[in-house]
Amino acid sequence: MVAYFSEIYYGLISLLEGMVITFKEFFKPTVTVSYPYETLPMCDRFRGHVELIENEEGQPNCVVCGLCERACPSGCISLAGEKAEGEKKKVLTKYVLDFTRCSLCGSCVEACNFNALTFSKEYNLASRRKEDFIFDLLGRLEERNR
């Protein structure tokens, strides 16, 4: 009989203790932000999809060595370049990232020896069409320079 009532007593106390904690939490400042009206800045090392880096003349640093293409686990990078007559270096003519297959591992950036690739800070990527995720990075670079 005593055990029965003491169980009820201590049970009630445990419930009250929990309620006190919840009550205290109620007056603590909000920790969430009301996205999409507010957004948090991305950290410096954030790994978004890749972007090409340009040199001072606005041309991509890429020398079309193809290391990123080979490093990619999912085969989502395809690039092409051509060598103009009399020139020593290849010039990038196409750099397409198939973002539908990209898993943001960063192997391409790591494989690059020419400082030609970086991560973008973009994360608001949503669309109804698959074509929107086939990124023409060279085109994006030109658009940025315009």
Of 84 and 124, which CB lies nearer to other proteins in the complex structure? Answer: 124
Interface pick for other proteins out of 6, 10, 58, 122 (rule CB under 8 A): 10
> Is-contact 89 63, C-beta < 8 A?
yes
Q: What letter represents residue 134's amino acid?
A: I
Size of the site for other proteins (CB under 8 A): 27
Residues 19-58 vs other proteins: string with x where CB under 8 A?
A: --xx--x-----x-----------xxxxx-----------
Our finding on whether 125 is near other proteins (CB under 8 A) is no
Distance CA 78, CA 66 (A): 9
Our finding on whether 132 is near other proteins (CB under 8 A) is no
In the window 61-90, what residues touch other proteins (CB under 8 A)? Answer: 71-73
Judged by the rule CB under 8 A, the positions of this chain that interact with other proteins are: 7, 10-12, 14-15, 17-18, 21-22, 25, 31, 43-47, 71-73, 103-107, 110, 119
